[in-house]
Structure 1
Amino acid sequence: MNKNTPNLLLVEGTNDKSFFERVCKKYGINADIKVSTPVDLALPAQVGFNSKQGVINSLDALLPMLEDEDSVIKKIAIVIDSDIQGENNGGFTSTIAQIKNKTSKYDYSATHKYKNGGVEIPHNDSQMNPLGIWIMPNNRDDGTIENWLKDKILDSEKVMFAHACSIVSRLENKKFSQSSIAKAEIATWLAWQNQPGRTLAYTLKEGEELIDIEHVGFKGFVKWLRDFTI
C-alpha cells in the first residue's frame, strides 16, 4: 500500500472496487483513499477471499494494524451489502452483528452509531480511530449496492431500465437468488448500453454518467467518504 494513503476502504470485490475508485477519482479524494478487496491485501486464503464474508473476516487481520504505530494503515472503512434478512445471515441487523463479533475482540464499543449518513463503531480508547461502515443500500434496509444505484438512474435511462427489470421479472426458472434480483436488473440494463458488458464503474463514465450524481443519496455517500479521510 502507498505509504501516503493511510485510509483503507475495503469492499467486496473487483467490480465494487472499480466503482468506488471511480467515485474517489471523480471527487478528488483518490489520493487520500486506497480502495482494496480482501484478495488485494494478500491475507491468508481462509480470510482473504472476495465477498461480504471475506471483508468481515479480514477485520481480524486489519484491526490489529491500527494499534501499531508503525502501520501504514491509520483508518479503515468497509462497504458491504446488507443482502436479505433470513437469507445467508443477511439483513442490516445480522450484518452489523457479524461485524461487532469481530470488533469486540479488539476493544471496540458494543454499540454502533450513525454518523455522516454512515455507521461507525468507536474504539473504547478515544485516541483510536473508529471503524467506518456503510451497509448497502442505506445502513437500514435489505439490499445491495445495485439497490442503492437503482433510484439514482437518470430519467433518460429509466425507460430502458424499467424494460430490463420487466425482462428479469418474467424470466422463468431463475438461477439466481432473491437477493440477486437487483444485480440481474442492473447487469441487464448495462448490457444494453453502447459498450455492453461493462461494470458498475461505467455508470460514472466522465461526461456520460448514467446515474444522477446530484441525487441526495449519492451526494450523501460522497460526503461520508470525504469525512472518512479527515
Structure 2
Amino acid sequence: PIILKDVNLQTLGIVVDADQDLQARWQGISDKLKSVGYDNIPKNTCAEGWIYEQNELPKIGVWIMPNNQLIGELEDFVAYLIPDDDQLKDKANEILDELEKLEINGYNKDDRSKAFIHTWLAWQKEPGRPMGLSITANVLKYDNEIIQAFINWLNKLYQ
C-alpha cells in the first residue's frame, strides 16, 4: 500500500495468483486497496480484469491468474497457451498422474500446475526454455481467448 501513496505513480497493475481461493485473494486485495482510500471496489472479481480510476490516487488494475474466474496460478494460465493438438500435453499429465499414484512425486499437489508446465517445457525442442521465451518462440500459442483478455486488460490499464 505504501507505493500507492507515491505522488509520481500514475498507474499500477497488480497481477497475482488466485491459488486455492479466488474469493479470498480478491478480498485480501480489496481490503488493502480500501485501506489506502479506494472505494467502489466490486464484491467479486471481474472476468475481464478490474480497472479503476479514483481522484488523487493512481489508476489501479487487478488481474488474478489464471483468468479472474478460476483458482490457479500463472502456470495454469500458461497451460492454456499449449496448442490443443499437442501430444506431449496429455503425456505430461499421464506421467504426473502416475507419479502421484505411486506417491513418488516430490511436489505438493497444490503445485501440480507448476510441475506440469515445467515438465512439458522440458520436453520441447529447446528443453527448459522459460515460459515467457516460449511464447516469443511460438512454442506456446498467443492467439486464444485467455491471452487476448489479458492483453486487452493491459492495454486498457496503460492507455
TM-score, scaled relative to structure 2: 0.86
Residue 81 (structure 1) aligned with residue 44 (structure 2): no
**Which of 63, 87, 94 lines up with 2:4 in the alignment?**
63
Report 1 or 2 for greater relative contact order, CA contacts < 8 Å, sequence distance ≥ 6.
2
Residue 120 (structure 1) aligned with residue 61 (structure 2): no
- Could you say if the C-alpha distance between residues 195 and 212 of structure 1 is closer, same or farther in structure 2, counting changes exceeding 3 Å? closer
Secondary structure of the corresponding residue to residue 64 of structure 2? strand
Secondary structure of the corresponding residue to residue 92 of structure 2? helix
**Which of 90, 104, 119 lines up with 1:162 in the alignment?**
90
Deviation for aligned residue 1:178: 2.4
Quote the Cα distance in structure 2 between the aligned partners of 1:61 and 1:176: 35
**Unpaired runs of at least 5, structure 2:** none
Asked if structure 2 preserves the Cα contact closer than 8 Å seen for 1:136 and 1:145, the reply is: yes
Secondary structure of the corresponding residue to residue 146 of structure 1? helix
Quote the Cα distance in structure 2 between the aligned partners of 1:228 and 1:105: 22
Deviation for aligned residue 1:210: 2.0
TM-score, scaled relative to structure 1: 0.61
Residue 177 (structure 1) aligned with residue 108 (structure 2): yes
Quote the Cα distance in structure 1 between the aligned partners of 2:63 and 2:140: 20
Secondary structure of the corresponding residue to residue 120 of structure 1? strand
Secondary structure of the corresponding residue to residue 155 of structure 1? coil
**Unpaired runs of at least 5, structure 1:** 1-59, 85-90
Q: Which moved more, 1:170-179 or 1:191-200?
A: 170-179
Provide the aligned length of Structure 1 versus Structure 2: 155
Identity %: 25
Deviation for aligned residue 1:111: 2.3
